[in-house]
């Protein structure tokens, strides 16, 4: 009878909708849990002390400044939209939208609003470990 057909039709629709919603939720949970883990990058201690002695240099994917006992690593990802910044007179400049940073990573001009991230370095043997 038509009411049963209607009911079954609506049941199909609602079940389909529920399945779709459930899969979206499951997908959402899966994507949320897929956050990339903290990555460790090892920096050679000799390269770090050379970088520090010359006033700051790129070691791997970080820019190392500071002193030989307490080096500081700056992330080279622009705080606006993530492009890799390049060295410029007086600090850093981002080629994508024109943000500029001073030698310590503080924002000077352009759309970037915060300073370049400082990555903590921990000594392990004769390497420095950066947690990214």
Partner 1 sequence: MDAPAPGAGAPSGGFGRLSFGFLAVSVLSGTLLVPFYTPAAAWESLEKIQSGLAWGFFLRAVHAYASFGVLVATAAHAVQVLAARTERQLPAGVWWRSVLLLPVTVAALLGGFVLRGDAEAVAALAIWRRILESLPLAGAEIARLFLGSVPGDLGAVALHHAGTLTLLLWLFTAEHAGRFIPDARGAVLAALVSLALAGTVPLPLGAPPAAAPAHLLGPWSLLGLQGALGYLAPAAGWLLPLAFVLLLGLVRHAEGRVRRALLATLAASCAAYAFFTVRVLLSSRV
Binding site for partner 1 (CB under 8 A): 27-28, 31-32, 34-36, 76-77, 80-86, 95-98, 110-111
Nearest to partner 1 of 9, 82 (CB atom): 82
Closest approach, Cβ 93 to partner 1, in A, equals: 9
Closest approach, Cβ 75 to partner 1, in A, equals: 12
Question: Distance between CA 79 and CA 94 in Å, rounded?
Answer: 10
Closest approach, Cβ 60 to partner 1, in A, equals: 10
- Which residue reads 């007179």 in tokens? 89
Nearest to partner 1 of 38, 126 (CB atom): 38
Nearest to partner 1 of 69, 101 (CB atom): 101
């Amino acid at each position: 009878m038509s009411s049963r057909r209607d009911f079954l039709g609506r049941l199909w629709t609602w079940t389909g909708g529920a399945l779709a919603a459930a899969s979206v939720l499951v997908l959402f949970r899966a994507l949320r849990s897929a956050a990339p883990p903290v990555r460790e990058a090892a920096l050679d201690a000799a390269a770090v002390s050379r970088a520090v002695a010359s006033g700051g240099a790129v070691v791997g994917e970080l820019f190392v400044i500071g002193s030989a006992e307490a080096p500081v690593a700056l992330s080279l990802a622009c705080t606006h939209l993530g492009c890799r910044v390049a060295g410029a007179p007086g600090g850093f400049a981002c080629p994508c939208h024109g943000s500029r940073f001073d030698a310590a990573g503080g924002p000077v001009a352009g759309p970037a609003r915060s300073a370049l991230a400082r990555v903590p370095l921990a000594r392990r043997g004769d390497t420095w470990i950066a947690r990214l």
